[in-house]
Structure 1
Amino acid sequence: MNALYDTHCHIDFQVFDEDRERVLKSAAEVGVERFMVPGVSAEQWPRVQQLAEQFSSWRFALGLHPWFIEKHNLNQLKELEKVLDTTHKRLRAVGEIGLDATCDNSELQRELFIEQLKLARHYRLPIIIHHRKTLETTHPLVKQYGPESGVIHAFSGSYEQAMKFVDCGYKLGVGGVITYARAQKTRQAITKVPLSSLVLETDSPDMPICGYQGQRNEPARIVEVLKVLADLREMSTDALSDVLWKNSCELFNDVPPASNDHESG
């Protein structure tokens, strides 16, 4: 079974506290050998780091997510810089950061986003970008302030929008959206972009897969995304998963796992 990399999942969230070991085991059974767990707020960062120490299959990122803007302040950027300066072996990105038109305090959002882009560039780390109705405003900031690599989480735009980021060296996170036939614009875009620009993600516990609406999402369901993407790209799942694994490892400067990497330890 080819290795799979869930490049975006929030399995540190409390909703997984009662059965996290089972969730990870189920994912491992279908080939998921790596998990990227992004940070969303300063108060959550220690928890992410602690769990990443417990599970060797985890990689993590730290960032200030716009959904939690009421918890953020500019002083937290110093805390972020301090942690980035430690070069923790499993800290592989800055994120989840971005702009969200449905959240308040757009000026603080913008300032925090720009400063985190600068930090990522300074530490030569990729970024994990959240966007909602902000792709057009996000791109010029990434181009001006951001690092040379990153991923557009839960990409749901047009081919033209996709290529703006691909041309900057960024990858597109492909998740549950493409399992819905109605998502024609996004499905067409990810069918046409270079295969080297795609990675898989679940956004667990969110971004439900078609057929599982109303249920908590889990990393094991990344296989459903893989199947749909293989159909859209007219490839076998084996050939596709091999490329996506390489793309993911390249994105996060990762290396192939040991045979027991999915075990806790």
Structure 2
Amino acid sequence: MLRLLDAHCHLQDPRILSKAPHLIKTAQDTGVAYFAVNGVSEQDWHSVKQLAETYPSVIPCFGLHPWFVKERSPNWFQTLKEYFDSTPSAAVGEIGVDKGSHGKKIDFSEQIEVLRQQLELAKELNKPASVHCVRAFGDLLELMKFLGPFPAGVILHSYLGSAEMVHEFSKLGAYFSFSGFLMSLKASKAKKMLKMVPPDRILLETDAPDALPMSNIDSLYFVEGDTSLTEELLAQTTTSSTSGSSLGNSSHVLADASMLPKETLNHPANIHNVLDYVASMLEITKEELAELSYQNAVRLLSYEGSKVLQK
């Protein structure tokens, strides 16, 4: 069986937290050994910590996401440091900058300041940081050049930046993690960018419950009880009796996930769809890419105190 590590997901998300036991088991049965679960605000760090205490496969990550910068408390940074003090197995994330439709509502100078503090903390702790970046790669690169390099690594999560910036980020210690969002790029652009990424810097992720891969319906796992899948839609699909989570044998009705509601939840087992797509773009086998990305992730996440130890 292939070994995979989901380098970035959100099993603590309220949309799927109650289903986490089933999601983890189903994904593990397909070969997913670990899940890097990223907190996004003070409100969910405790849920991430609880998941990590319950499941040996959950790597906790604590960070303040740019979308939640406005809601931070005066003591947010002290609280964050206390989470790291009490959770040696934790990495930093999700942090970042965003100039997209959601991010532009939040003061960018505040976003930069919050990111700077957290990147400095990651360096101080000698731990990798998982970074969200939307339409702000120039700003991120400038900040990383000012603070870097980052020997413990920086994960550019769901990377959709340009091929031209890959080398500059790599020099600073960046790894490039790919999710189903990659399928939103023009194939030629995705291929050009992927070919620029050093093989020892490639990671795979799901960003579940977001970033549902735009794959054939019958190849995807779905989250049981997903309210975005209406009765009418479910009537057009066949629910697998084995996993209770895969909708199959229906590609003649629903060709691919682009026909599903935008709110459809992503399952962490769908990392296999990301694997297949990235491997096809790189023109290597999925077995080669699975082992390569797994070893990259294990190396990156083998910091002191980590649950993932380099063999």
TM-score by length of 2: 0.78
Asked if 1:96 is matched to 2:150, the reply is no
> After the TM superposition, which residues 13-24 of structure 1 pair with which residues of structure 2 at under 5 Å, given as runs?
13-24=13-24
* Equivalent in the alignment of 1:156: 160
Q: State the 1:256 CA deviation.
A: 6.2
Specify the SS of the correspondent of 2:173. coil
5+ residue gaps, structure 1, are: 258-265
Is residue 140 of structure 2 the alignment partner of residue 142 of structure 1?
no
Indicate conservation of the 8 Å contact 1:74/1:112, yes or no: no
Q: Aligned pair count?
A: 255
Paired position in structure 2 for 1:131? 133
- CA apart distance, 1:32: 0.7
Q: 2:178 aligns with which of 174, 177, 185?
A: 174
Query: Percent identity of the aligned residues?
Result: 30
Aligned equivalents of 1:182, 1:66: Cα separation in 2:
27
Within 5 Å, give how 1:116-265 maps onto structure 2: 116-146=118-148, 147-148=150-151, 149-180=153-184, 182-210=186-214, 211-213=256-258, 214=261, 215-253=264-302, 254-255=308-309
CA contact (8 A) 1:152 1:172 kept: yes
Question: Aligned ranges for residues 71-86 of structure 1 at < 5 Å?
Answer: 71-86=71-86
> 1:34 touches 1:58 (CA, 8 Å); kept in 2?
yes
Measure the CA separation in 2 of the matches of 1:181 and 1:160.
16
Deviations 1:189-211 (A, max 9, x none): 11232111110011001112013
Q: CA deviation at 1:17?
A: 3.2
Which has more radius of gyration? Answer: 2
Q: Secondary structure at the match of 1:15?
A: coil
Q: CA deviation at 1:244?
A: 0.7
Shift of 1:6: 0.4
Give the drift of 1:181. 6.4
For 1:6 and 1:166, locate their aligned partners in 2 and report how far apart those are by CA, in whole Å.
Answer: 21
* Runs of 4+ in structure 1 over 4 Å off: none
Q: Deviations over 1:115-153 (max 9, x none)?
A: 111111111111111111100000121222253211101
CA distance in 2, matches of 1:171, 1:105: 27
Offset of 1:176 from its aligned partner? 0.7
What corresponds to 1:25 in structure 2?
A: 25
Q: For 2:165, give the aligned amino acid.
A: Q
More moved, 12-21 vs 58-67: 12-21
Q: Deviations over 1:75-114 (max 9, x none)?
A: 211111222233x2421x2111111113212121111111
Deviations 1:6-48 (A, max 9, x none): 0001011111134222211221121111000011001211111
Question: Would you say the 8 A contact 1:175–1:225 is kept in 2?
Answer: yes
Please give the root-mean-square deviation of Cα atoms over the aligned residues, in Å: 1.7
- Residues 9-88 of structure 1 aligned to structure 2 (within 5 Å): 9-86=9-86, 88=87
Q: Secondary structure at the match of 1:96?
A: strand
1:114/1:73 CA distance change after superposition, 3 Å: farther
Normalised by the length of structure 1, the TM-score is: 0.90
Partner of 1:262: none
Secondary structure in 2 matching 1:19: helix
C-alpha distance in 2, partners of 1:59/1:191? 29
The amino acid of 1:176's aligned partner reads G
**2:253 corresponds to:** none
Match of 2:114 among 90, 101, 112: 112
Is the partner of 1:85 in helix, strand or coil? helix
Structure 2 stretches lacking a partner, 5+ long: 215-255, 303-307
